[in-house]
Amino acid sequence: MGKAAVGFYWTLPVPWAGFTELPDEIEAAAKASRTIRYQREAIRRHAKDQGYTLIAEKVFLEISPDRGSDIIREPLSKIESICRRQDAVLLFVDFSEVQGWRSHAPMRQWSLQTRIAVEPIYPDEILIDGKMFDPHVHFADWRDKQQSWSSRKSERTAIALDLARKMRSQGQSYPTIAEALLANNLYSATGKAWTADTVRKLLAVPPSSTP
């Protein structure tokens, strides 16, 4: 058996695609996210080539669609404990090598401070199920779509507010309005599903303050 290793795979939520949750189980997470699947394949191949034995694989979904956060330190601290107990090295794909995209400052800072062995892997283009996956192309496309989605924030809010006001004037309850917004594929400015509480807050905004 080769040296023990732990694979860590993370990604950002994509509200405009309805991707706001990630299963904890690695195979299910890989089906839900192409980015997670790419990392899983890249790290498994790297581990095999280098003679590592993967003893654990962990996934993490960030809270914001456009940046990494300090919240990532919590799952990393758990992985750190595993690595210390098993004398394992932490493997992760360093997306910052792709023109600086998908860099994660808190994770990079953590990796410089931790006492466990950390091995970043360059995000090479690889073949997955007969198709080439190029992180450079993938994230360029993702960035364009993300920017387009972000630029329509005011428009989405205005449409949701208009429907909410009409339904409220008809005597509809906040929970009913939230369900109607979701049924019409309308989400909050941050891409989250409306709730009775967030609908109440939306309607509490004075007309002159709305987009």
Segment (H or E) for 54: strand 53-61
Cα 207 to Cα 108: distance, rounded to the nearest angstrom: 44
Domain boundaries, the chain: 4-149, 153-209
How many angstroms separate the CA atoms of 58 and 43, rounded? 12
Say what the pLDDT of residue 102 is.
65
pLDDT higher for 202 or 152? 202
Sequence letter at residue 161? L
Whole-model pTM: value is 0.72
% residues pLDDT > 90 (the chain) = 58
Q: What is the pLDDT of residue 17?
A: 76
| Nearest residue to 89 (alpha-carbon basis) of 10, 26, 7, 25 | 7
pLDDT of the residue at 211:
47
What digits encode the pLDDT tens for the residues 127-138?
888 888 888 777
What's the pLDDT tens digit per position in 80-126?
Answer: 999 999 999 999 999 886 655 667 889 989 999 999 999 999 999 98
Residue 159 and residue 167 in contact, taking contact as beta carbons nearer than 8 Å: no
Task: Tell me the mean pLDDT in the region 38-53.
Answer: 96
* CA separation for the pair 60, 11 (Å, rounded): 7
d(CA 49, CA 77): 27
Q: How far apart are the first and last CA of the chain?
A: 61
Whole-angstrom Cα distance, residue 59 to residue 91? Answer: 12
Q: How much is the pLDDT for 191?
A: 72
What residues are paired with 58 via a beta bridge?
8
